[in-house]
Amino acid sequence: MSDQRDAAGMAALSICEALLLALHDRNLLPEREIVGVLRDAAATHENAQGPETERKTHKATAKLINEIIVGSNLSRPT
């Protein structure tokens, strides 16, 4: 089951990344809005409530999103 969740998460991440890049490449969303979407997603996970195990997963998710922002060409100031 965990392997399936990991694969599903990786697939979702790849699809979302491809969609955001396509939106940018076609000049449908500027970089600042794409970074804003990513920051909003990270903030949602950073502020998540629930049991400790769920909060740890949310914190790890937020960390990954923030690393994507920093590690991409979308990290320029907006």
Structural domain contains residue 77: no
pLDDT of 9-53, one tens digit each? 889 999 998 999 999 999 999 999 999 999 999 999 999 999 999
Q: Cα(30)–Cα(36) distance, rounded to whole angstroms?
A: 10
Structural domain contains residue 58: yes
Structural domain contains residue 53: yes
pTM: 0.80
What is the CA 27 to chain-centroid distance, rounded? 20
* DSSP line for 55-74: HHHHHHHHHHHHHHHHHSTT
Structural domain contains residue 29: yes
Structural domain contains residue 13: yes
pLDDT of 29-38, one tens digit each? 999 999 999 9
Structural domain contains residue 36: yes
Q: How many domains does the chain have?
A: 1
Structural domain contains residue 55: yes
Structural domain contains residue 76: no
Per the structure, the complete domain to which residue 54 belongs is given by 2-71
38 CB neighbour count, 10 Å cutoff: 20
65 CB neighbour count, 10 Å cutoff: 21
